[in-house]
């Protein structure tokens, strides 16, 4: 049963900076195989000159979540400081944790200017096959599914997590605005109505840093949970796995293969995926009482690989790491000035690639809100919608991954019986395939509880293509870039002269940029217009007939409507938190 933990330990006294060596709680015990980049420690102004500034945003943690936030803020021109206790990306001594990045994350990375680097290094895939014993139970091709097929980004790219983190660091240095401080460990924290103060340990000594907003992106062992007395709903199972990252001379197909019951792994589950550098991740489910040291011994791993691929597969072992997982969700993602995101807010099992992908979405959700509030273009109440939206997503992801975990490691009795029945039926009847659960791949979570989204809003907009007024091709992210962190109002068809006058007045007074979206044969009534010849933009915004869609900088629809009237003005106020301020 899930239990609620409310740890209340006080922060430890500072003991000076010691180089980071730990693996952030994932039970990796050995291996290397990659050389990670090292970033220099620079003495901060607080230590070098004794200068103490107050920072609008301080991000703690330079993993995939903190770096995505830093990059998004940098692109919006918002000054921030990022503190990371280490001097590199990835996890020292371990291989990559994350490997699969979903379309929504790739669209975010496209907006941030790192997608091309990811696409060049990573592997695109869309076909998945699931096996039980010797039989293929079912297969899918994500490209055939309407949820994926319109975006200019593919359904998934597989790439080692540290590459993405490294590209984000490069991009942040290119963009400026964010001060990346390496070898800077936060060892204490306090906040009150006047501000937040962080104690930072560095190789040059410790200092205090003042902040208005603090983002905790320190991962699954977040000290901020303790400092903020944050309660967490948690669950730990006994499922154990062992990763073998390998290269082959005889290359398997570029598809996601999963076995629920693999005959070559004592009828336990196995995952098989290709990532960058021709490295395959083979993930073997182990017995719950397996000894991590034994199952990751080289001779034992080689024997396991030979059972699956035959003795002549030409296997080069890049890295081996046994791990266990747990499931946790913080009950409040905002505690005063602190916003929890990524693994510090929730930890899920790796099934369906929901960990890092939702950390990326957390970051994208908060970035534009912080920027809008700091520029005075939105009410501070907008920041509360971060919890409303991302906690709903976190709970959904915990629920979905826990279901998969139970399917893969069913309790004896009814759960095991159900699994046997599902596998048996799925082999013969297509309707039963939905019950076979080897991981539901990460999606862009909808927001149904947000006070800032209308009843038709809260849905992600795919990065679909259209034509600019001069006929050249564009995608949604170009429009968002053009909107520069403002809301984007897309008006479909010709709304008439009165509506156009109202729109011009609205655009003059509110942080909104308006664009008329023409169908194949419509005539332009506004100077700013694009052509949606195939209706992809309309479909992506979830609107039908003449209508408008208010799109947020994180490419989510805030609201849609039929008429250019007071309802649109209210939707704009609501999406910027202004209605809550007035209430």
Instruction: Report how far residue 221's alpha carbon sits from residue 225's, in angstroms, rounded to the nearest whole number.
Output: 9
Q: How far is the CB of 556 from ligand FAD (least distance, A)?
A: 19
Residues 132-171: x/- map of binding to ligand FAD (CB under 6 A)? Answer: -----------------------------x----------
Output the smallest distance, CB 502 to ligand FAD, in A: 43
We find the least distance from the C-beta atom of residue 22 to ligand FAD, in angstroms, to be 9
Angle at 307 between CA 303 and CA 309, to 5 degrees: 110
Residues 50-69 that bind ligand FAD (CB under 6 A): 60-66
Q: Which residues pair with 139 in a beta bridge?
A: 129
Measured from the CB atom, the residue of 148 and 466 that comes closer to ligand FAD is 148
Measured from the CB of residue 61, what is the shortest distance to ligand FAD in angstroms? 3
Apex 351 CA angle, 346 and 353, nearest 5: 70
| Interatomic CA distance for residues 528 and 531, integer angstroms | 11
CB closer to ligand FAD out of 84 and 364 = 84
DSSP summary character for residue 327 = E
Out of 155, 356, 454, 485, the residue judged to bind ligand FAD by CB under 6 A: 356
Report d(CA 499, CA 293) in Å as an integer: 70
Residue that has been written with the tokens 């280490």 in this structure: 86
DSSP per position, 281-302: EEEEEE-TT--HHHHTSHHHHH
Q: Is 123 in the site for ligand FAD (CB under 6 A)?
A: no
Nearer to ligand FAD, 346 or 369 (CB): 346
Q: Is 537 exposed, middle or buried (0-12, 13-18, 19+ CB in 10 A)?
A: buried
Closer to ligand FAD by CB, 292 or 355: give it: 355
**Nearer residue to ligand FAD within complex by CB, 31 or 355:** 355
Q: Output the smallest distance, CB 17 to ligand FAD, in A.
A: 10
Q: What is the three-state SS of 38-106?
A: CCCCCCCHHHHCCCCCEEEEEEECCCHHHHHHHHHHHHCCCCEEEECCCCCCCCCCCCCCCCEEEHHHH
Closer to ligand FAD by Cβ: residue 201 or 478:
201
3-class secondary structure, 526: coil
Strand order in the sheet with 547-551: 459-460, 556-561, 547-551, 487-492, 512-518, 529-531, 465-468, 473-475
Contacts of 128 (CB under 8 A, 6+ apart): 139, 140, 142, 255, 256, 257, 258
Burial 180-197 (b: 16+ CB within 10 A, else e): bbbbbbbbbbebeeeebb
SS3 (DSSP) at 128: strand
Min dist CB 329 to ligand FAD, Å, is 13
In this complex, which beta carbon is closest to ligand FAD, that of residue 97 or of residue 486? 97
Q: Report in angstroms the alpha-carbon separations of 337 from 176, 189, 370, 503.
A: 24, 11, 12, 36
Does 355 bind ligand FAD (CB under 6 A)? Our answer is yes
Range in contact with ligand FAD (rule: CB under 6 A) among 69-77, 142-150, 217-225, 421-429:
217-225
Among 31, 122, 154, 223, binds ligand FAD (CB under 6 A): 223
Site string (445-484) toward ligand FAD, x via CB under 6 A: ----------------------------------------
Q: Which of 44, 154, 166, 342 binds ligand FAD (CB under 6 A)?
A: 342
Q: In the window 77-116, what residues touch ligand FAD (CB under 6 A)?
A: 83-86, 97-100
Give 178 or 217: the residue with its C-beta nearer to ligand FAD.
217
Residues 519/472, Cβ–Cβ less than 8 Å: no
- Nearer to ligand FAD among residue 94 and residue 564 (C-beta): 94
Give the number of other CB atoms < 10 A from CB of residue 314.
13
> Taking the complex as a whole, how short is the minimal distance between the CB of residue 341 and ligand FAD, in angstroms?
7
Spell out, one character per residue from 172 to 201, where the chain touches ligand FAD: x when CB under 6 A holds, - when not: -------------xx---------------
What is the closest distance, in whole angstroms, from the C-beta atom of residue 58 to ligand FAD in the complex? 10
CA dihedral defined by 443, 259, 320, 127, rounded to 10 degrees?
-50
Please list every residue from 224 through 243 that binds ligand FAD, using CB under 6 A: 243
Identified binder of ligand FAD from the candidate list 214, 244, 353, 441, rule CB under 6 A:
353
Which tokens sit at 1? 């049963």
Residues that bind ligand FAD (CB under 6 A): 20, 24, 26, 60-66, 83-86, 97-100, 161, 185-186, 217-219, 223, 243, 323, 342-343, 350, 353, 355-357, 359
């Amino acid at each position: 049963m899930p239990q609620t933990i409310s740890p209340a330990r006080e922060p430890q006294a500072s003991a000076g900076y010691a180089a980071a060596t730990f693996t952030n709680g994932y039970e990796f015990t050995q291996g290397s195989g990659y050389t990670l980049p090292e970033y220099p420690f620079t003495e901060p102004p607080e230590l070098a000159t004794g200068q103490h500034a107050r920072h609008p945003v301080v991000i703690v943690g330079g993993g995939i979540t903190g770096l995505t936030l830093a990059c998004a803020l940098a692109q919006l021109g918002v000054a921030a400081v990022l503190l990371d206790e280490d001097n590199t990306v990835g996890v020292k001594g371990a291989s990559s944790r994350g490997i699969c990045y979903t379309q929504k994350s790739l669209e975010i990375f496209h907006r941030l200017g790192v997608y091309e680097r990811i696409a060049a290094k990573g592997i695109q895939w869309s076909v998945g096959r699931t096996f039980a014993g010797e039989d293929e139970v079912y297969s899918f091709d994500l490209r055939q599914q309407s949820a994926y097929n319109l975006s200019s980004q593919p359904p998934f790219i597989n790439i080692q997590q540290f590459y993405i983190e490294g590209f984000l660091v490069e991009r942040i240095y290119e963009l400026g605005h964010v001060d990346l401080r390496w070898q800077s460990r936060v060892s204490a924290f306090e906040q009150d109505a006047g501000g937040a103060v962080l104690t930072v340990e560095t190789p040059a000594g410790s200092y205090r840093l003042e902040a208005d907003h603090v983002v905790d992106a320190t991962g699954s062992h977040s000290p901020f949970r303790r400092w903020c007395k944050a309660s967490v709903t948690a669950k730990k199972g006994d499922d154990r796995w062992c990763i073998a990252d390998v290269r082959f001379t005889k290359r398997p197909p570029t598809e996601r293969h999963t076995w629920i019951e693999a005959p070559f792994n004592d009828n336990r589950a196995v995952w098989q995926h290709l990532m960058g550098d021709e490295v395959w991740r083979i993930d073997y489910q182990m017995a719950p009482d397996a000894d991590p040291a034994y199952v990751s011994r080289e001779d034992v791993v080689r024997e396991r690989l030979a059972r699956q691929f035959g003795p002549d597969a030409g296997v080069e072992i890049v890295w081996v790491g046994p791990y266990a997982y747990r499931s946790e969700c913080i009950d409040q993602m905002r505690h005063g000035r602190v916003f929890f995101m990524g693994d510090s807010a929730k930890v899920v099992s790796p099934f369906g690639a929901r960990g890092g992908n939702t950390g990326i979405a957390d970051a994208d959700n908060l970035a534009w809100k912080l920027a809008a509030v700091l520029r005075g273009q939105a009410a501070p109440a907008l920041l509360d919608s971060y919890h409303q939206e991302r906690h709903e997503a976190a709970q959904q992801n915990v629920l979905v991954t826990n279901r998969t975990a139970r399917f893969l490691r069913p309790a004896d009795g009814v759960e095991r019986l159900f699994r046997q029945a599902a596998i048996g039926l799925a082999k013969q009847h297509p309707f039963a395939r939905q019950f076979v659960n080897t991981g539901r791949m990460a999606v862009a979570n909808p927001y149904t509880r947000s006070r800032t989204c209308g009843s038709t809003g809260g849905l992600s907009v795919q990065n679909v293509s259209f034509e600019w007024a001069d006929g050249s091709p564009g995608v949604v992210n170009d429009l968002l870039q053009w909107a520069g962190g403002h809301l984007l109002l897309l008006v479909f068809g010709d709304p008439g002269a009165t509506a156009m006058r109202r729109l011009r007045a609205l655009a003059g007074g509110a942080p909104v940029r308006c664009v008329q979206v023409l169908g194949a044969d419509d005539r332009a009534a506004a100077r700013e217009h694009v052509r949606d010849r195939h209706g992809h933009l309309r479909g992506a915004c979830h609107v039908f007939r003449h209508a408008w869609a208010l799109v947020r900088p994180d490419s989510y629809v805030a609201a849609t409507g039929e008429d250019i009237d007071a309802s649109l003005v209210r939707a704009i106020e609501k999406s910027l938190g202004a209605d809550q301020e007035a209430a």
